[in-house]
A and B are shown apart, each in its own frame.
Chain A
Amino acid sequence: MMDRLSRTALAGLALALVACLFLPLWRVALLAPQYPEGLGFYIWANRMSGDLRSINGLNHYIGMKQIVPESIPELRLMPWALGGLVLAGLGAAAWGRRKALVAWVSLLALGALAGLADFWRWGYDYGHDLDPTAAIKIPGMTYQPPLLGSKQLLNFHATSLPAAGGWIAFGVLALGIALIIRERRLARRPRPA
């Protein structure tokens, strides 16, 4: 069994994930000579915000598909997945078994990985599936945005980084792993009689 501190901490981590429902998870920022003030968009659990209209307008030159948040099913799924993780975390804390902690953290890690993989897949699709009649066609050029970090895409310098919600999710994952390590150490130590 986990000790009281670990169980409380696990419950706290699960609750911290609630913030991810109300904060942007990811931000993609675009800078170009004509856009010194920058363009960009945020990905939230259930929506996207920012300069999508302008970005879609520009993307039509290279034949990229319109980014239409309403047509992205993940934005409908993600709030449920996050909610499930919160409840599972609270359940694990209540149950108190170390196995439950490990299972929850693994689930969280898998969820994060799946999310990143999905984001990459969308990026790949937008960047490669281009309209053959587009005005600007550069042989060999594709426009997949970076998953994490920066990349030059024609005149735009694109930067992709976690936003507040994303940082919280990664923080929760890191602290969850720290909790597992703590529990392992406690398990190796003989219990006081």
Chain B
Amino acid sequence: MNIAVCVKQVPDTSEVKIDPETGTMRREGVPSILNPFDSYAVEEAIRLKETNGGKVTAVTMGPPQAGDVLRDVVAMGVDEVMLLSDRAFAGADTWATSYTLGLGLKQAGPLDLVICGKQAVDGDTAQVGPGIAENLGIPFVAYVRKIEEIKDGVMRVQRLIEDGYEVVEVKLPAVITVVKEINSPRMPSLKGKMKAKKIEIKTLDAAALGAVPGNIGLAGSPTKVVKVFTPPPKGKREVIEGAPAEQVAKLIDRLSESKII
């Protein structure tokens, strides 16, 4: 199987701490990591390769330092990597990102399957996976929690929904996004780390992708951010004092006063 995974370098949100006084985010010195959801995509791709043969190509779009996450996934067992990097890609929203990644994936050769994490933890949009499917003109299944079987060009998966899951068959090639439940990502192997150090990262710019200038970066992005603000501190932050029985009684009073219960 020829499988591609799309990955993203994001700030490590587990290193982000909330200032308890001001309720704002402390962002100093937050390191960049592989988007945690993408590690499930990478793991699943490597497992499929181990079972069915073939190769795994990882693609990312970002500044040159985003190459770091490509080395991380090579250490896990990814075979080939591709970095889509150009100043003209800066400021891309999900529309332009999907377009650009779609062009990159087309250069990764005929693919059987594209796997993405369900969303990136910095933007949380979950829009790029389906956007890529549209750009490649192939079917899409979101929130996959298990790949049950691949046979005769058809893949059977379990798709997570609000109150359970659905068993869905999809014709390949297809794009899927995966959730945490699907697997436990492996740690990088020593051999993988050696390979990651040496691998040459293939970098493609807008011209190499044949990208239409009006479709990439800020210029190609229909949406614009007009304001970014810290949400006003939520919660009345009333601490209820007293012995446990007293605390409970007071809480019940507060909740009934405001007709909550």
Genuine A/B complex: no
- A-contacting residues of B (Cβ < 8 Å)? none
- B-contacting residues of A (Cβ < 8 Å)? none
